[in-house]
Amino acid sequence: MMRTIFVIGVMISIMLGAFTPVLPFAGPSLAMAQSCKARENPQETADSFIARCRKASIGRVFPTHLLHTKLGDIRKGKLWDYKTAWKLLNDRRFEK
């Protein structure tokens, strides 16, 4: 009896999950962001912004330890690597 109830519960959850719209690989910050200007997306992480708005070649020169940092924090950073990252994010050579 319990096994039948469990199986029915799993089937219902699968059916409900199949009908909910989901954007693949999109977190809330990515789904909400529309602009490809770094200044207008301060809550988005650098790696999601790069994936959405920049060419892959930026990865060769972008500081890897800042990939999971929010754009607002990169903009406010005072160290050389933050300044380099901000310049690269706004460089027109890397726009898609």
- Looking at residue 4, its pLDDT comes to 64
Q: CA 75 to CA 55: how far, in whole Å?
A: 20
Q: CA 42 to CA 44: how far, in whole Å?
A: 6
Radius of gyration of the chain (CA): 20
- Looking at residue 22, its pLDDT comes to 47
What is this structure's pTM? Answer: 0.64
Quick one: residue 38, left, alpha or beta (phi over 0 = left, psi -120 to 50 = alpha)? alpha
- Digits of tens for pLDDT over the chain (96 positions)? 656 665 666 566 666 665 444 445 555 555 554 799 999 999 999 999 999 999 999 999 999 999 999 999 999 999 999 999 999 999 999 998
